[in-house]
Structure 1
């Protein structure tokens, strides 16, 4: 091997060390999240391993090893002079504050399903039959709600809805709203709390998620103007002023069929809001850190879910605006535009 070739190999091996470290540390994040280590550390300030173990009812020796690994990753800070560990302001927002728009612990819970369900996905690669959403490990359902909720909290009411033509005024006056593919109901509850004059129905085909959404509505005190029902995107009942799909259209086996059903369910002056993962139209433009995460999720969750259903269109989490436009307009919509975006989402508006 030439010196130049060796240098390239060394650089690539260095990247592998970093990637392996991220994977290993990710398991530690999940562990710390579930044991309450991050939140206790936030509340306690600078703590020794013994203090953190006592505060969480865990074993000190194991806690010290966990702390050391997280500190090596830069996920927590270490004060050598006092042998204490702590979270800085940024780390608190990411790992210990579930209401923070930067909270990311839920993402690690989502990604754990990639490993837990690898065998199911491997079999799907061979059979082509896909893996349905409900066939995944339960951490996917919990983690998805926790991962998406901070972004919805930060953007939905103050940014995304105002970007749609006339929707905020309608919701303030009182409108009939369907939140399709609502999961645990985070988006539905958020809108119901902000617009008490409107009536919200969350639909999802996954009954355990609907049960959890009903509890979430009760806990949030919005049961008076919110209900949740088990129904699929092509069959949900009712007529609406506003229909919302949050990060779910690309998971559907027949997204064009879903688009047609939404078109039929909307009043003539109604609006369909489609929130989808941010993506450019061409693969080369998506070869970046955000695309890396989304393609991984799409490989293990989104595309297998679509392939497990009728039609099995396989849109994928990185479909891009052009492909989404074709799907939406095939359902009969005449007006389609990108209303706004974040680094992680596109917010699309469709009208009859």
Structure 2
């Protein structure tokens, strides 16, 4: 046994343990508004306590831990902690990368560990609606900034003729819409278009309706409780699915329903995790993140449904292409991508 390799491996373990334990502190920072408060300017723990109304002893430990992880800055001469412009953008701006939302999603996911452990033995599934509320809220908050940054400015323009159709007043079905962020972004960007968001989770749809009312877009976006196989409507110019096809127990039936629902010249915008068909090429930080999430969320949800599929978050392009081809689509191309996602343009 090589002791240097043991030490190297243990160094990785310590880093992982530190990051895992720090997740709780990040979520505390989000829930209490600590990042937003620190973005107002540097402060000692005592000054920060006055600013936030929180206990100084807890804040001292929290600030030191954040500084140890590189999430906040520290001035030894003054004892003050601070956020740089870049840290504030990532941690305190809801329209930035919204890093705390990712940790909220992660902690919510881990709450299901006992049930997932048992599922390893039985093969049982765990449906999306059975997950902790933090999973639902955290997922929406984590993915929304990416949609804000790219959906209207990059992804839609990358599709052949779709931007023009929606500008003129096209019809959109946003399938698996969750809390409706993607639906409302489309409604705000294309005021002449009509959008129907659908999700099987009735509580998510109730929240989506409330948010649409608050945003003042109910004249052009509505929501329905429906699965990807039962959403209503036909002759859509665009059907969208954001990071959800791989969660479904029967993605083939969902793809066939999309084929039926599209207009003859319609487009299916499918966003899926960015993964290689070669398993070993996914052995990187992003792949590790997605495989972990898939173990706790995606595969259990698929196994909770009929259909016999469990694609998982790292299914890869070939598996996705095969589903669409089997459903009767004849055109499939990679229209855009980010380090996290691939945008597919799929047409009849």
Matches for 1:4-23 after TM superposition, within 5 Å? 5-23=2-20
Query: Partner of 2:26 in structure 1?
Result: 29
Is structure 2 residue 299 aligned with structure 1 residue 303? yes
Unpaired stretches in structure 2, ≥5 consecutive residues:
none
Equivalent of 1:281 in 277, 281, 306: 277
Matches for 1:270-349 after TM superposition, within 5 Å? 270-349=266-345
Equivalent of 2:218 in 223, 238, 244: 223
Cα displacement string for residues 82-101 of structure 1 (whole angstroms, at most 9, x for unaligned residues):
1111101121111101111x
Using the TM superposition, give the Cα deviation of residue 338 of structure 1 relative to its aligned residue in structure 2, in angstroms.
Answer: 0.7
Query: Partner of 1:176 in structure 2?
Result: 171
Distance in 2, Cα, partners of 1:51 & 1:331: 61
Distance in 2, Cα, partners of 1:55 & 1:183: 35
Q: What's the RMSD between the two structures over aligned residues?
A: 0.9
Distance in 2, Cα, partners of 1:241 & 1:158: 19
Matches for 1:94-113 after TM superposition, within 5 Å? 94-100=90-96, 102-113=97-108
Distance in 2, Cα, partners of 1:173 & 1:125: 50
Deviates most, 214-223 or 139-148: 214-223
Query: Partner of 1:145 in structure 2?
Result: 140
Following TM superposition, the consecutive aligned residue runs of length 4 or more in structure 1 with deviations greater than 4 angstroms are none
Contact 2:109 / 2:132 at 8 angstroms: preserved in 1? Answer: no
- What secondary structure does 1:269 align onto? strand
Distance in 1, Cα, partners of 2:74 & 2:86: 15
Cα displacement string for residues 282-308 of structure 1 (whole angstroms, at most 9, x for unaligned residues):
101100010010000000000100000
Is structure 2 residue 166 aligned with structure 1 residue 162? no
Query: Partner of 1:55 in structure 2?
Result: 51
Q: TM-score, normalised by structure 1?
A: 0.97
Distance in 2, Cα, partners of 1:169 & 1:295: 37
Is structure 2 residue 225 aligned with structure 1 residue 235? no
Q: CA 1:312 to 1:129, structure 2 compared with 1: closer, same or farther past 3 Å? A: farther
Using the TM superposition, give the Cα deviation of residue 177 of structure 1 relative to its aligned residue in structure 2, in angstroms.
Answer: 0.5
Contact 2:271 / 2:343 at 8 angstroms: preserved in 1? Answer: yes
Distance in 2, Cα, partners of 1:218 & 1:62: 39
Equivalent of 2:185 in 185, 190, 203: 190
Using the TM superposition, give the Cα deviation of residue 312 of structure 1 relative to its aligned residue in structure 2, in angstroms.
Answer: 3.5
Cα displacement string for residues 156-199 of structure 1 (whole angstroms, at most 9, x for unaligned residues):
00100001110000000011100000001111100100000000
- What secondary structure does 2:156 align onto? helix
Equivalent of 1:212 in 185, 189, 207: 207
Cα displacement string for residues 247-290 of structure 1 (whole angstroms, at most 9, x for unaligned residues):
00000010000000100111111110100011011101100010
Q: TM-score, normalised by structure 2?
A: 0.98
Equivalent of 1:90 in 83, 86, 89: 86
Distance in 2, Cα, partners of 1:51 & 1:140: 34
Distance in 1, Cα, partners of 2:240 & 2:110: 31
Using the TM superposition, give the Cα deviation of residue 103 of structure 1 relative to its aligned residue in structure 2, in angstroms.
Answer: 2.3
Using the TM superposition, give the Cα deviation of residue 216 of structure 1 relative to its aligned residue in structure 2, in angstroms.
Answer: 1.5
Distance in 2, Cα, partners of 1:79 & 1:275: 43
Distance in 1, Cα, partners of 2:50 & 2:288: 39
Contact 2:110 / 2:296 at 8 angstroms: preserved in 1? Answer: no
